[in-house]
Amino acid sequence: MNYRHGFHAGNFADVVKHTVLLQLLDYLQQKASPYCFIDTHAGDGCYDLTALPTQKTLEAEQGIYRLLMMKPHPEMLEQYLAIACKEQNYLGSPLLAAQCSRPIDRIILNEKHPESYLALKKNVQGYTNVAVHERDAYEFLPALLPPKEKRGLVLIDPAFEDKQEMQHLIACLTQCMRRWPQGLYLIWLPIVGRNDYKVRDLTHIGFEKYLTIEFYIKTPSIDAPGLIGCSLLLINPPWQIETQLHPLLDYLWQVLHKDQASTWSIKVHTDSKIK
């Protein structure tokens, strides 16, 4: 395991993923009853943007810093911008979720990399509703489902350094659908070059309703190595969440894209295979 999220913290893909995540947590808080948030690939939780990894790639310059320079911001982004980046620190999904949660909500974090796990444990110290685990995400997640709260969100945000990642993801999601088909699942996929990680490889599993987001900052080309976009798959999207996400993502695309010919999209799908 070589991947360290510190090299990419606060990049355009983090901005997209974390703003969508906050909208979903906000939706879950509209009900008084508690929810459970599970982050299967949690990372360190908090990243110092002046530290060497981030300085080496300067990805945050094209992500969170670019966004922070634009003013005024749309109201919907205010919560994210107020908590995600304070001084030199950028918060990852675990701390964003912890900061937004109510004491009654339960947060389960998992991270397999030993150093990231230790950093994560330290970074969430003091949150009494947070538990941290050091397991393999794909064997850990199905065993947790369904959560006792019977409502909540699972974030699956892999590093994609394992050649078998998609196979693990498909096998894991298939089990999750048997154990908790009503759950809300947000899955992040990279778009690189000719795109090896296709959302439709996951949707073959068969979900009653799902939403897909494709967000490109550059046009696909074999000459453009590296990350040129990202996809999000949201299984069981809340009613009309797309109408909230649309203006938000459109604004983010206006700020973050590098190539005018690139595009973004949001679509809601229903699967006729499911009865």
Quick check: 111 binds ligand SAM (CB under 6 A)?
A: yes
Quick check: 105 binds ligand SAM (CB under 6 A)?
A: no
Query: What are the beta bridge partners of residue 109?
Result: 39, 132
Q: Are 209 and 267 in contact (CB under 8 A)?
A: no
Quick check: 106 binds ligand SAM (CB under 6 A)?
A: no
Q: Which of 266, 33, 265, 236 is CA-nearest to residue 154?
A: 236
CA 28 to CA 81: how far, in whole Å? 20
> Residue 43 or 147: which CB sits closer to ligand SAM?
43
Question: Which range touches ligand SAM (CB under 6 A), out of 36-44, 73-81, 178-186, 214-222?
Answer: 36-44
Q: Which of 162, 180, 174, 249 is CA-nearest to residue 211?
A: 249
State the nearest-atom distance from the C-beta of 46 to ligand SAM, in Å: 9
Quick check: 110 binds ligand SAM (CB under 6 A)?
A: yes
State the nearest-atom distance from the C-beta of 186 to ligand SAM, in Å: 10
State the nearest-atom distance from the C-beta of 117 to ligand SAM, in Å: 8
Q: Are 115 and 45 in contact (CB under 8 A)?
A: no
3-state secondary structure of 110: strand
Q: Are 274 and 233 in contact (CB under 8 A)?
A: no
Quick check: 92 binds ligand SAM (CB under 6 A)?
A: yes
105, 157, 223, 259: the catalytic one is: 157
Q: Is 157 part of the annotated catalytic residue set? A: yes
Tokens 């530290």 locate to 51
Q: Which residues bind ligand SAM (CB under 6 A)?
A: 1, 3, 5, 17, 39, 41-43, 92-93, 110-113, 116, 136-137, 157-159
Q: List the catalytic residues.
A: 157
